[in-house]
Structure 1
């Protein structure tokens, strides 16, 4: 009941922020002064999900005037738009179905988040973490046609399954995750690290042969499925590089035609791009990137508040960070891309100081308004892309 109250209150706040952004939106904004909630729900990437539900995926890849693959629906997985379409058939429209799925997934995320955090930080801190999560700067993801909330729900259910050594449910979770949004390869790495840790600590907790088989099988399934969308896109379009070329079409907006995909190169390209844009020497960007990686690793490895969350959450966070370093080009979507790290709200909520928790909650709400205003109320600058 308490989580329901927290979630409902936070959704009312988010709705108020959307309405305020629409009211204050200037004539030159991306969506114009006549924007409303219905406009925002299907804005940005939600347009692609809607198109997938109504038109499917292109058999022939669209090309730019220069002959490069243009942005298209192959960058997005099919599970969410099709599920939203099915729900929309009952509710009257795809938009209604998408919002319903996001809202329900967000609430279920809150329930599962509490359950995976409570053993490490206690009931009170877990509820505060749920409050931070439901009111966070990216809380708009619970009310727009994006796949973030359903994907996170699958991740949280996967973490809980490993915490409880209940492997059977993962055989259903992983395929659903693979076709909801990119990131199942991070979960494959997570399973690998989980298995290595269980093996190294088997003297304290026996690692039965049955469990070994499950972990190895699940990691293998996640790895195969992690590359399956590339194969499917290639078979349908007749181009082996259809998926990667589509993903790189977004990267060209920032760094131009930098050649094919090379793992871990995106962060180096972004460091060069952003620091040049700020009038600083690119070498400072590389130094800053190195310090960021070291600091992130240190927090995950040594922070006592993170340690209290348990090994599964820490291993997931490390796996997802490594995955992002390998495949992502940091740009304005970086905040949304970090959404799967939401279990770390438990570490933020762990300190028992009430002033600290209230300050964090206030910062969440300020950050949420800032994000909604810039990405939806304005949406005019190159960094106003959620």
Structure 2
């Protein structure tokens, strides 16, 4: 039995590796083309290279953290408002990348190798997470679409997204199998890799309600109740811990919030204050104005989009096949984004944690449907790389 399981695990690891490595070759080709197209108006200049693209944009902030740490005094502009600084980024990725870079010859190598390795690990766990619900063929296609997706360039950049996805997919897998003890360390790892663990706290609350409502057909023993409550409390504490740490380190209790607002104020003005759920409403009007449409229609379109997403999570049969844990995660994460984020071009990157929900597109058994989805993914990937890296010359080309 143990030998059979070992062979099965090796088979999964090998199959996913073949998919992942072929996808990375395609992305490398896209990177080469983007570097060739990069011009003097691009952020990367006319002499862009694949390594310079891999360490662009937010990868620079992680590099600063690895090299210098976090500032004890917040930078401010002429009016005394906090400006962009490293406190917006969590420490786990740069610490691990710096450690790996000490072996590989420098931080950039460590960061890219860490992102690459984490992307592969996330692909393996995604397959295992989905296999019990979708079967092997659909799950493998979900991995193919994930590895070749529109945001797949992040697996070859010094970004923390792929590392977060490893922890998230493992936590969802453990929740599916009710191995609650595994989730405690994963919550902490998630919380210090990327913002968003508060969405997992909401998931645990919704999951507890779901289990309670179904307790007659799916018994809810006391140890499960204790774990769900304890994990929800831990996720909430971890979700606010970085704010406390930043406040203590800088002497400013609002250090983290003001740092996050520094990015938003460049869009909506220097007097902007954080109000939950206001960001998406403001941005919908702003973007409609930029597109030459009546700004008042923006919130209406946003409401239609939210209702449509809710309907998909509740009614779509392909999504329902994913199981309650993944569906509740999708709802929780979307509520989290609506509550805290101001959407601009980086919103696509922030949708990556919805990958398990997006796996529903791999469910239809038609081979041509799946090939069509792959073509769309590759087209979206090149579009993202071209806009954000080859061009990267205006406010709506920021990954």
1:315, 1:72 → 2: CA distance?
33
Question: Is the Cα–Cα contact under 8 Å of residues 161 and 167 in structure 1 kept in the other structure?
Answer: yes
Which deviates the most, 216-225 or 339-348?
A: 339-348
- Structure 1 position 310 matched with structure 2 position 315: no
1:116, 1:108 → 2: CA distance?
12
1:132, 1:279 → 2: CA distance?
34
Q: Which residue pairs with 1:383 in the alignment?
A: 396
Q: Which residue pairs with 1:343 in the alignment?
A: 356
Deviations 1:232-277 (A, max 9, x none): 1111111111000000000012111243211000011101211122
Q: Which residue pairs with 1:14 in the alignment?
A: 27
- Structure 1 position 57 matched with structure 2 position 70: yes
Q: Which residue pairs with 1:102 in the alignment?
A: 115
Moved over 2 A (4+): none
Q: How many residues align?
A: 386
Q: Which residue pairs with 2:372 in the alignment?
A: 359
1:145, 1:318 → 2: CA distance?
28
Question: Is the Cα–Cα contact under 8 Å of residues 103 and 143 in structure 1 kept in the other structure?
Answer: yes
Question: Is the Cα–Cα contact under 8 Å of residues 100 and 110 in structure 2 kept in the other structure?
Answer: yes
- Map of 1:148-187 to 2, 5 A cutoff? 148-187=161-200
Q: Which residue pairs with 1:287 in the alignment?
A: 300
Which deviates the most, 250-259 or 157-166?
A: 250-259
Deviations 1:185-228 (A, max 9, x none): 00000111111111111111111101111110000000011011
Identify which of 226, 231, 251 aligns with 1:238: 251
2:174, 2:208 → 1: CA distance?
14
Q: Which residue pairs with 1:251 in the alignment?
A: 264
Deviations 1:90-113 (A, max 9, x none): 111111111111111111111111
Question: Is the Cα–Cα contact under 8 Å of residues 132 and 345 in structure 1 kept in the other structure?
Answer: no
What's the offset of the Cα at 1:42? Answer: 1.4
Deviations 1:162-197 (A, max 9, x none): 001101111110111111010000000011111111
What's the offset of the Cα at 1:326? Answer: 0.2
Question: Is the Cα–Cα contact under 8 Å of residues 151 and 180 in structure 1 kept in the other structure?
Answer: yes
Question: Counterpart of 2:181 in 1: which secondary structure?
Answer: coil
What's the offset of the Cα at 1:344? Answer: 2.0
- Map of 1:84-103 to 2, 5 A cutoff? 84-103=97-116
Deviations 1:355-379 (A, max 9, x none): 1111100000010001001101110
Question: Is the Cα–Cα contact under 8 Å of residues 69 and 245 in structure 1 kept in the other structure?
Answer: yes
1:140, 1:258 → 2: CA distance?
35
RMSD: 0.9
Question: Counterpart of 2:296 in 1: which secondary structure?
Answer: helix
Question: Counterpart of 2:33 in 1: which secondary structure?
Answer: helix
Question: Is the Cα–Cα contact under 8 Å of residues 229 and 243 in structure 1 kept in the other structure?
Answer: yes
2:358, 2:24 → 1: CA distance?
18
- Structure 1 position 275 matched with structure 2 position 275: no
- Output the TM-score relative to the length of structure 1: 0.99
Question: Is the Cα–Cα contact under 8 Å of residues 99 and 144 in structure 1 kept in the other structure?
Answer: yes
Question: Counterpart of 1:161 in 2: which secondary structure?
Answer: helix
Q: Which residue pairs with 2:333 in the alignment?
A: 320
Question: Is the Cα–Cα contact under 8 Å of residues 265 and 272 in structure 2 kept in the other structure?
Answer: no
1:189, 1:163 → 2: CA distance?
16
2:45, 2:307 → 1: CA distance?
43
- Structure 1 position 143 matched with structure 2 position 150: no
Question: Counterpart of 1:329 in 2: which secondary structure?
Answer: coil
1:48, 1:361 → 2: CA distance?
32
What's the offset of the Cα at 1:7? Answer: 0.3
Question: Is the Cα–Cα contact under 8 Å of residues 122 and 169 in structure 2 kept in the other structure?
Answer: yes
1:349, 1:254 → 2: CA distance?
37
- Output the TM-score relative to the length of structure 2: 0.95
Q: Which runs of 5+ in 2 are unaligned?
A: 1-13
1:372, 1:279 → 2: CA distance?
26
